[in-house]
Structure 1
């Protein structure tokens, strides 16, 4: 089971790395779009109408992609004081409960994000000319990664492999 889980962890590690690169590229792209908008508005006394909604959409992607990678790596907010005094077996159980809760949140992101996208699919974003559903795609995509990475963490722990959390070794590259 450990060899199979290492292969899965390697694949999800590549997915996480790709998500992090996309998030970084999105951050740079959003910054460039906002800088162009400021230049056009205040220097050229004109305005590019599509940069603001495009930047907000890109921001949604880099926030949710980065958050999902943070969950995989164990960087999300947690309250670890009790873990200082608990035995390792109880720590593993509590970490798994936490991962289940985070995975449940990811399922909610997918479910409600899909509902929002379906309700706005018929609307057109005026300045971009695309469906309003695209505004909610980052919630659905981020939720899918949150679920995947939460499941991976639980399976890694069950296989006896380390995950990144208090009292555990960090994930290896890959």
Structure 2
């Protein structure tokens, strides 16, 4: 079982690298689009209206994708003062509870994102000409990733493998 979890972790690690590159690309692209919008508004006196909406959509993607990878890598803020005085067995229980809460949160993102997308499927984003549901695809995908990456953390802990927490990364 440990070998399967290790193989899964290696595949997820590669996926997270791709996701981080996609997030970084989205951030750079959003910055360029906003720069282009400022250029159009103040230099050309002709504001491109599609850049703002596109930038907001890109922002949703890089935020939710980056947040999901942050779940896996243990980079999110947490209240860990009490963890320093707890025995390791209690820490593992707390970490497992934390991962279960993140799974529930990610599932909620998927559920409500899907509901919002279904509700807005028939509408159109005017200056892009695409369905309004597009605005919620990043929420759904980010939720799926949060669930997947938290389940991986649970599996790693179940077979006795290390999970990244508070910057204490250990390589296998």
Same fold (TM over 0.5): yes
Partner of 1:88: 88
Residue 170 of structure 1 pairs with residue 161 of structure 2: no
Task: After TM superposition, list the pairs within 5 Å mapping 1:2-151 onto structure 2.
Answer: 2-151=2-151
Paired with 2:152 and 2:135, the residues of 1 have a C-alpha distance of: 28
Shift of 1:15: 1.0
Shift of 1:165: 1.2
Q: 1:50 to 1:172 in 2, by over 3 A?
A: farther
Give a deviation string over 1:110-169, Cα, whole Å, max 9, x none: 000000000000000010000000000010000000000000001001111101114x84
Aligned residues: CA RMSD:
1.3
Shift of 1:58: 0.2
Give a deviation string over 1:5-59, Cα, whole Å, max 9, x none: 1100001111111111000000000000000000011001001111000000000
Paired with 1:172 and 1:128, the residues of 2 have a C-alpha distance of: 45
Q: 1:171 to 1:119 in 2, by over 3 A?
A: farther
Shift of 1:170: 1.4
Shift of 1:171: 5.4
SS in 1 for 2:133: helix
Paired with 2:170 and 2:3, the residues of 1 have a C-alpha distance of: 15
Shift of 1:172: 3.7
* TM-score when normalising by structure 1: 0.96
SS in 1 for 2:53: helix
* TM-score when normalising by structure 2: 0.97
